[in-house]
Amino acid sequence: MTNFSVLYLLFMLGFFIKDVCLTSVVQTLQTVMAAVGEEAHFSCQLMESKDVLQVTWQKILPDQDKNMAAYNKYYGQRVNSDFIDK
């Protein structure tokens, strides 16, 4: 049986309205699946001219969510060491 990992994209936007983060300006494939050992490709597209500060990809596990990678407007990209060359 092939094992699959389910990954989600979270958004941290540079603006908030009534303490609610607006995520509708970022469009992405919500779930990315890949068999163990295969490559998984992640992307997102900004639909409006907004100041997005950070985009974070997480692996959703039964007992926790684990950050895989992030792109920050000021600090660039960062891949969690647990997911490099996997």
pLDDT truncated to tens, each residue of the chain (86 aa)?
444 444 444 444 333 333 344 456 777 767 777 787 788 777 778 787 778 788 888 888 899 988 988 889 899 999 899 887 76
Residue 18 half-sphere exposure toward CB, CA atoms < 13 A: 0
Q: Looking at this protein, which amino acid is placed at residue 50?
A: K
Burial (CB < 10 A; 0-12, 13-18, 19+), residue 56, is middle
- Residue 2 has a CB neighbour count (10 Å cut-off) of 9
45's enclosing H/E stretch is strand 45-46
For residue 10, the cross-strand partners are: 56
Q: How many residues does the chain have?
A: 86
pLDDT at residue 74, as a whole number = 94
Domain count, the chain: 1
Full domain range(s) for residue 54: 4-83
